[in-house]
Amino acid sequence: MFVLTLFLLVKMKKVPDKLQGLIEPTVTSMGYECVGIEYQGRPKNSLLRVYIDSDDGITADDCALVSRQLGAVFEVEDPIQGHYTMEISSPGLDRPLFTIEQFERFVGSKVQIKVSVPLEGRRKFRGNLKVVDGDEVIVVVDDEEFRLSLANIDQAKVVPEI
């Protein structure tokens, strides 16, 4: 097998520290796991998506409860300028992966990864997550291994096998 390495050129989109510092403690204090946060700042209407989970799964009522609590925190702290849409969601079957720990939890699973810098003309990799090595993941696509740095991954998710 041939191993390719994608070097650190462009970092993942980072959630502002202030948002992360407000969201994670609020969600965990409510007894949920904060799986990850996506934020797209836009001039007219920003989008904030928070993924939550628990051992018992997530219901619409759980999402509404977290949304109300975060809304109250944001009303006081005002961390986002202008209008924004906040979505609270379970990770779902096509669970997004944000951290090395989450990648480690799904070693052996089929994943879909999008990188910020094309590698051999491609930005998307769909294959089996073979191993996590430090801050890199190795994905096997059609019997070829690709070594991807977490810092270069724009999006990653587990591909549900139904």
Question: CB count, 10 Å around CB of 113?
Answer: 23
Distances, alpha carbon 159 to alpha carbons 25, 54, 125, 126, 154, in Å: 29, 20, 11, 8, 16
pTM above 0.75, yes or no: yes
Distances, alpha carbon 133 to alpha carbons 84, 100, 107, 140, in Å: 37, 9, 11, 14
Q: What would the pLDDT profile of 107-162 be if each residue is shown by its tens digit?
A: 999 999 999 988 778 899 999 999 999 989 999 999 999 999 998 999 999 999 87
User: How far does Cα 92 stand from its chain's mean position?
Assistant: 12
Q: What would the pLDDT profile of 73-109 be if each residue is shown by its tens digit?
A: 999 999 998 899 999 999 999 999 999 999 999 999 9
